[in-house]
Amino acid sequence: MNGYIVGQQVINGLVLGAIYGLIAVGYTMVYGIMGMINFAHGDIYMISAYLAAIFLALLTGAGVQSVPVALVLVLALTILFTAFYGWTVERVAYRPLRNSNRLAPLISAIGVSLILQNYVRISQGARNQGIPALIEGHVRVNAADGVTIGQVTYTQILIVSAALLSMGALAWIMRHTTLGRSCRATQQDRVMAELLGINTDHIIATVFIMGAAMAAVAGLLVTLNYGSFDFFIGFVVGIKAFTAAVLGGIGSLPGAMLGGVILGLCESLFSGFVNTDYKDVFAFAVLILVLVVRPSGLLGHPEVEKV
């Protein structure tokens, strides 16, 4: 029985960590490019959950009965509209304050976060929203001796697969495309990148859009997995994803996913064996311990001061 509990909590932790990792990408990309934290990113994720439910209801009402077709269409529409929100945040909260002191964009992003929360609360209501289960069924995970150590739902398999594919695609874009090279050049030296003909304003806006797209994937997957959400989920999950980004090494894409998995496993195992009420305390305690030993995070690199 203990083996089953451990196995199931590990599975749940990996799924939760995949979600944290997807959202953490938005934080780590913006920080890597601009050296600033987008505190409105968690609410972009929250909006994507609402958008996914709205588009699903519209497609169902339009007569789309095939679940795979509906999910593909909902994913495409959710990414498109969520990316627009990400672009808007960059244009409204960051671009006008690009050359101001570092505190001004931070305050602006917090203001946008509050605006988005209340915008959704007023337009959609403060009560919990939900969608019916679309993907049912599970598979059992057995040890070498045939003993069942857990079960994985098809939705959880979809979450982990989508997270790995999304992260793999993003890593390939950043490493092997012109856009990725431009992003890396902007990250290293924005002034020199502009001198080389790179439109850094366009690159920064694109980074916000890509981060929002990853949050949209997470929003749809979370909606499918848990079935319910409200206007405040962006704050809680956003703080967790930011913690995952810092834990893995903010500015590092692999670090975002690694930090998310570690944070998810810590929460899940602590909830299963100690106390659910204090899982957040334990997760943040792990973060503090890691940063004491390695301040730049697990996969981060210490900043080199340019002279």
Domain with residue 197: its CATH number is: 1.10.3470
241 in a structural domain: yes
DSSP letters along 21-78, please? HHHHHHHHHHHHHHS---TTHHHHHHHHHHHHHHHHHHHHHTT---HHHHHHHHHHHH
For the cut 80, the answer to whether the pLDDT of residue 15 exceeds it is yes
Q: Would you state the pLDDT for residue 218?
A: 92
Look at 78 and 6; give whichever has higher pLDDT: 78
Q: Would you state the pLDDT for residue 222?
A: 87
For the cut 80, the answer to whether the pLDDT of residue 70 exceeds it is yes
Q: Would you state the pLDDT for residue 199?
A: 92
Q: Would you state the pLDDT for residue 120?
A: 93
265 in a structural domain: yes
Nearest to 2 by CA among 149, 152, 144: 149
Mean pLDDT of 104-110: 86
Q: Would you state the pLDDT for residue 149?
A: 75
Q: What is the pTM of this model?
A: 0.89
* Mean predicted lDDT score pLDDT of the chain: 86
Listed range (28-32, 117-121, 140-144) with the worst mean pLDDT: 140-144
Domain extent for 97: 2-293
For the cut 50, the answer to whether the pLDDT of residue 307 exceeds it is no
Q: Which residues pair with 140 in a beta bridge?
A: 151
162-198 residue pLDDT tens: 999 998 999 899 889 999 999 989 988 888 999 889 9
Mean pLDDT of 239-262: 88
117 in a structural domain: yes
Mean pLDDT of 229-246: 87
Mean pLDDT of 37-66: 90
Location of structure tokens 């993907």: 135
Residues 6+ apart with CB under 8 A from 179: 173, 203, 206
246 in a structural domain: yes
86 in a structural domain: yes
Q: Would you state the pLDDT for residue 303?
A: 60
Packing angle, helices 103-124 and 41-61, rounded to 10: 30
Which of 55-59, 130-134, 224-228 holds the top average pLDDT?
Answer: 55-59
- Give dist(CA 157, CA 151) in Å, integer: 11
Structural domains in the chain (count): 1
Listed range (43-57, 82-96, 199-213, 269-283) with the worst mean pLDDT: 269-283
Look at 211 and 146; give whichever has higher pLDDT: 211
For the cut 70, the answer to whether the pLDDT of residue 302 exceeds it is no
What is the phi/psi pair of residue 187, to 5°? -65, -40
pLDDT-based confidence at residue 32 (cuts at 50, 70, 90): confident
Contacts 24+ apart (CB under 8 A), 203-208: 203/33, 203/179, 204/33, 204/34, 204/90, 204/94, 204/95, 205/87, 205/90, 205/91, 205/95, 206/179, 207/29, 207/30, 207/33, 207/183, 208/30, 208/38, 208/86, 208/87, 208/89, 208/90, 208/94
pLDDT-based confidence at residue 80 (cuts at 50, 70, 90): very high
Mean pLDDT of 223-247: 87
298 in a structural domain: no
50 in a structural domain: yes
Mean pLDDT of 273-286: 80
For the cut 70, the answer to whether the pLDDT of residue 304 exceeds it is no
307 in a structural domain: no
| Pairing of β 228-229 and β 148-153 | unpaired
Q: Would you state the pLDDT for residue 100?
A: 80
Mean pLDDT of 121-148: 82
For the cut 90, the answer to whether the pLDDT of residue 251 exceeds it is no
For the cut 90, the answer to whether the pLDDT of residue 216 exceeds it is yes
DSSP state of 233: H
